């Protein structure tokens, strides 16, 4: 099938791009290359260097005529979304709407949407969070993901475009960018491979549900199936604290000590996702343990440092 991927020069979507191509799909990708890397674009993909808010998206869709949109492009910095909510809404809400309108006009059949299992729930009432947990985003970024999901539901009702919203846990793995508001795994690894002590904010007991990127790719592949529709948490039902994360990474490294800094204001204390709905409805299970995933990620970062 013809699949259009946004944000494909970035961390997660570049892996998805490779998997879709390996499965024999025809793939076109879009990225503005502001944070993504050109080398992440697979040469087998048709590449459009364009922003998702650009009106030219419609002409691109008219040319490629995608059957499926896999939408990962986003303004993903939580702190920037708080500081610049209008900018966040322009990219994440109006950009998504621009894509949906372009897709509607060419007969788009399905959208796979990268949502957030942490930002969309906010501070959890129960653990692990199921898809029925109240949605209480604590940032414009989280709110934009909630609005994106609602637009997908609306377009399904109005135009019969099926959708799958994948609420990711904290995704980590090869190609993750350690700069900007990146994941803690990439930030820690960049410092540790330089022989520097990473910085733990607060007491380090805050937890997240870390999911390896290959497992996220598998969820996207399963979401392509015609009968798959709806919202799914993509997490591991396993909490890992920042201190535990550092201890695992330090077992691969010469760096054995971390420094501490004040806690970040408003940081979520715990995040944990149930994957039971994904297991029962799309046969998705996380396959890579946190220790194995961190080892694979460490090896990739180490090899990149050498090259």
197: helix, strand or coil:
coil
How far apart (Å, rounded) are the C-alpha atoms in residues 234 and 73?
18
Backbone angles phi, psi at 172, to 5 degrees: -140, 165
**Structural contact between residues 281 and 219, judged by C-beta atoms closer than 8 angstroms:** no
Neighbours of 71 (CB within 10 A): 26
Neighbours of 277 (CB within 10 A): 16
Backbone angles phi, psi at 304, to 5 degrees: -65, -35
How far apart (Å, rounded) are the C-alpha atoms in residues 57 and 98?
8
Residues carrying an active site annotation: 141
47: helix, strand or coil:
strand
């Amino acid at each position: 099938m013809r699949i259009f991927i946004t944000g494909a020069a970035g961390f997660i979507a570049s892996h998805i791009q490779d998997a879709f191509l390996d499965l024999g799909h025809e793939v076109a990708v879009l990225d503005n290359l502001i944070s993504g890397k050109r080398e992440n674009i697979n040469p087998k993909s048709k590449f459009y260097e364009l922003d998702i808010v650009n009106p030219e998206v419609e002409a691109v869709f008219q040319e490629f005529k995608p059957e499926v949109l896999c939408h990962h492009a986003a303004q993903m910095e939580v702190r920037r979304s708080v500081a610049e909510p209008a900018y966040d809404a322009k990219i994440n809400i109006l950009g998504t709407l621009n894509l949906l309108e372009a897709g509607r006009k060419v007969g788009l059949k399905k959208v796979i949407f990268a949502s957030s299992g942490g930002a969309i729930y906010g501070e959890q009432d129960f653990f692990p969070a199921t898809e029925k947990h109240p949605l209480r985003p604590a940032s414009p970024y989280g709110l934009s993901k909630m609005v994106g999901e609602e637009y997908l539901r609306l377009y399904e009702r109005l135009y019969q475009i099926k959708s799958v919203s994948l609420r990711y846990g904290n995704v980590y793995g090869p190609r993750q960018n350690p700069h900007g508001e990146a994941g803690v795994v990439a930030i820690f690894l960049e410092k540790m491979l330089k022989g520097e002590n990473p910085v733990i904010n607060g007491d380090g007991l805050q937890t997240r549900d870390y999911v390896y990127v290959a497992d996220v790719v598998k969820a996207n592949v399963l979401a392509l199936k015609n009968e798959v529709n709806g919202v799914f948490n993509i997490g591991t039902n396993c909490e890992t604290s920042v201190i535990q994360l550092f201890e695992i990474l330090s077992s691969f490294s010469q760096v054995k000590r971390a420094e501490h800094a004040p806690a970040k204001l408003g940081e979520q204390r715990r995040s944990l996702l149930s994957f039971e709905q994904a297991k029962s409805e799309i046969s998705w299970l996380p396959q890579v343990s946190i220790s194995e995933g961190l080892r694979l990620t460490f090896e990739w970062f180490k090899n990149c440092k050498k090259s």
